[in-house]
Structure 1
Amino acid sequence: MLDKLRMRVMDHKPRVIEAAGLPEAAVLIPITCVHNEPEIILTLRSKRLSTHSGEVAFPGGRRDPGDVDLQFTALRETHEEIGLSPELIDVVGPMDSLVSRFGIKVTPYVGILPDVFELTPNADEIEEIFRVPVSYLLEDPREMTHRIDYEGRSWYVPSYRYEGFKIWGLTALMLTELMNVAFDANIPLSIPYDSDQEKKSR
């Protein structure tokens, strides 16, 4: 599955938002494979943070003036937040840029991790690190659907609850776009989600 993901992400032409003047940030979508089961690594942010406190997110953050590019930002922030060395990350490529509710342009990068690695959460920023199987996301077991409006259009984004962790907002949108691009999940994002119709089709 990781070979398929690699090819699909490398062939993907990501949407780039022309948002001059907006601050920029980047996150890493870290993927590993255990017993042929791909898993995505996520974090639970500290409740002490001023923004996105207590929320599930990918490791990442704002671009510093000294960062050579946004990929560097994603790798630097990942190392700072969860202790993952950039040398261990095989960056496959970027996904679509998004604008957060705080007016920050965010670019996610997909990175494949080796079989063996250590993660150490930065206690000032991260409360927990956890993994979600790709197979779980492909089933689209959403708890509800949130509408996100930006760029003059609406996105209907699933919200998941995995082992007590609520995955929603931009993080869920990034995950869903990755599932659609890399694994043909066909999870609808541009039309309202009809749970009754979905139940009838199963």
Structure 2
Amino acid sequence: MTDTVFEMLPGFDAQGFRLRAQRHDPEHAFGPEPAHLGHGDHVLNPDLVSGLADAKLREAAVLVPVTDDGPDAHVILTRRATAMRKHSGQVAFPGGSVDPEDDSEETAAMREAEEEIGLDRRFVEPVGRLPVYMTSTGFRITPILAVVKPGYNLIANPDEVDEVFATPLSFLMNPANHRRESRVWEGIERHYYVMPYGEHHIWGVTAGIIRTMYERLYA
């Protein structure tokens, strides 16, 4: 789709998001990275490319739930339980591994959202996908873009989620709110995006997926 056509689409309400998602081609390569790697941690850390290309990554899916609640839609996010073994306390989209009984990544993402935050899939309308997001922690994540229709209720599963919160889509799609930071991990400097929102520290893979959504749908 041309930039001119994108500019004619509605902005930060659910319908604008739906139209942008439905007109997006997730198979279109973005930037200079190898197309088969999609997007991921390697975009800001090119030294990871060879390792990701050779790794056997686990298939996972996350739901990117955008609420249909007026002119400024919101994105539902979670803060993972501090008692969890991996990524405890981090901000994340609802999601997890794709199980053998899941007939699609959409099914996996909606199932995980039901298990983690009680989001009934009857209120969830999948409207598109982003390119797969490859992580240095061993996952190949398919982000499922979805509109959440009014009438839903959320109940956090305390075994997996400490908090559920919503962030304005307009905030997340504003590049002025995207910061690049780095830290040394296992002796190597790693770069990543950070999007602080109030008391919430959105960073890492979650921020990377949000950045991909901005670049593909709103930039």
TM class, shorter-length:
0.7 to 0.9
Aligned position for 2:165: 130
Q: Does structure 1 conserve the Cα–Cα contact (< 8 Å) formed by 2:194 and 2:204?
A: yes
Question: How many equivalent pairs are there?
Answer: 178
TM-score, normalisation: structure 2:
0.74
Could you say what the CA RMSD is over the residues aligned between the two structures, in angstroms?
2.2
* Change in CA separation of 1:65 and 1:138 when aligned onto 2, cut-off 3 Å: closer
Distance 1:59 1:10 in 2: 21
Structure 1 unaligned regions, length at least 5 = 149-154, 185-202
**Deviation of residue 11 (structure 1)?**
2.0
1:74 aligns with 2:109: yes
Distance 2:215 2:166 in 1: 19
Distance 2:136 2:124 in 1: 29
**Deviation of residue 140 (structure 1)?**
3.1
TM-score, normalisation: structure 1:
0.80
Aligned position for 1:177: 212
Q: Secondary structure at the match of 1:87?
A: helix
What percentage of aligned pairs have identical amino acids? Answer: 33
* Change in CA separation of 1:70 and 1:165 when aligned onto 2, cut-off 3 Å: same
Runs of 4+ in structure 1 deviating by more than 6 angstroms, as ranges, are none
Distance 1:66 1:59 in 2: 18
* Change in CA separation of 1:161 and 1:112 when aligned onto 2, cut-off 3 Å: same
Question: Match for 2:25 among 7, 13, 23?
Answer: 13
1:41 aligns with 2:76: yes
Deviations 1:78-105 (A, max 9, x none): 1000001111100001111011221110
Q: Secondary structure at the match of 1:34?
A: coil
